[in-house]
Amino acid sequence: MPFVFNSPHSGRVYPSGFLAASKLSAIDIRRSEDVFVDELFAGVVELGAPLLAAQFPRAWLDVNREPYELDPKLFAETLPAHANSRSMRVAGGLGTVPRLVAENVEIYRKRPSLADAMGRIENVYRPYHATLRGLMARTSVTFGHAILVDCHSMPSNGARNEGQNRPDIIIGDRYGTSCNGDISRGLMRHFSELGYSVTRNKPYAGGFITEHYGRPLKGLHAVQIEINRGLYVNEKTLEPTVGFAALAEDIKTVIAHVISLPDSGFYGESIAAE
């Protein structure tokens, strides 16, 4: 199928040096994980799609950022001129090498060196994106177009300025710029038909990956799916709940419907013109 699935924040292999430098408990350091999202979406492989899943944790390296969104508060050294140190994500402590976990809690007791951060980017970030680009390119060559589904989860309770209870599912397409609208609407419709509350783009419209890989005019589409963690995991212990299996099956059902959408509008301008 012309789909590629990606789970960039579900990694849970924590380097020992990173744990030693952190002041957080074993549970608290995992608060940024999209916990078990790779397992929730594992059924797409049976449907015929590749699923790329990070093994490294988001708190150590966030590949849903520009390569050099670096936080000047995190490093003693002066950042290189090409670093983007003024983005909103950096301001929130959530750059490529995060300073905070999701609850705005400082990660490090001992700050990493700039050389350490650059090593993470060169040795892990770049190969990860090279793999993702390769999957998209291969899919596009095979089918004439490619659809990236970026898979995430979110806390059940939102920030104060957005209300307390978030919907079950949020579909993000960068306000219609990262994919053909039929894809977003199809995901929303089929999740809704299964009884889930679904919204689009608020408060999550898609991050760097959705924005960077979504080029609809070139036949490259990217859409983000955010799953409410309250549906499938105990948010205090991060253990799966009884709802996990049913949700995983529903995700597979939704994807099975969406892959059957008519794809006449998914091709790039050059192919469509031919």
Does the global pTM surpass 0.85?
Answer: yes
Given this model, what pLDDT does residue 158 score? 63
Tokens 């609809």 appear where?
Answer: 216
CA-wise closest residue to 31 among 103, 132, 116: 103
Q: Can you read off the two tokens belonging to residue 72?
A: 């000047």
**Of 149-153, 161-165, 188-192, 197-201, where does mean pLDDT reach its minimum?**
161-165
> What are 159-174's pLDDT values in tens digits?
544 556 889 999 999 9
Question: Which helix (H) or strand (E) element contains residue 226?
Answer: strand 220-228
Domain ranges of the chain: 3-60+112-273
Task: Convert 36-62 to b/e letters by CB count within 10 Å (16 or more is b).
Answer: bbbebbbbbeeeebbbbbbebbbbbbb
End-to-end Cα spacing for the chain: 22
pLDDT at residue 270 is higher than 70? no
pLDDT exceeds 80 at position 243: yes
Residue with tokens 């609407």: 185
List, for residues 75-105, the tens digit of each pLDDT value: 999 999 999 999 999 999 999 999 999 878 9
Q: Give DSSP secondary structure letters for 246-272.
A: HHHHHHHHHHHHHTTS--TTSS-HHHH
Please classify residue 274 by burial: count the beta carbons closer than 10 Å to its beta carbon, then call 0-12 exposed, 13-18 middle and 19+ buried: exposed
Exposed/middle/buried for residue 112 (C-beta within 10 Å: 0-12, 13-18, 19+): buried
pLDDT exceeding 90 applies to what percent of the chain?
90
Torsion sign over Cα 47, 51, 55, 57: negative
**Predicted local distance difference test score (pLDDT) of residue 272:** 42
pLDDT computed for residue 264 by the predictor: 83
In this predicted model, what pLDDT tens digit does every residue of 194-231 receive, in sequence order?
A: 999 999 999 999 999 999 999 999 999 999 999 999 99
**C-alpha dihedral, 205 to 225 to 99 to 35, nearest 10°:** 160
CATH superfamily of 3-60+112-273: Zn-dependent exopeptidases (3.40.630.40)
261 compared with 7, residue with greater pLDDT: 7
- How much is the average pLDDT of 240-246? 97
Among candidates 149, 118, 117, 120, which has minimal Cα distance to 132? 149
Closest CA to 5 of 147, 214, 199: 147
Q: Write out the two tokens for 165.
A: 């209870």
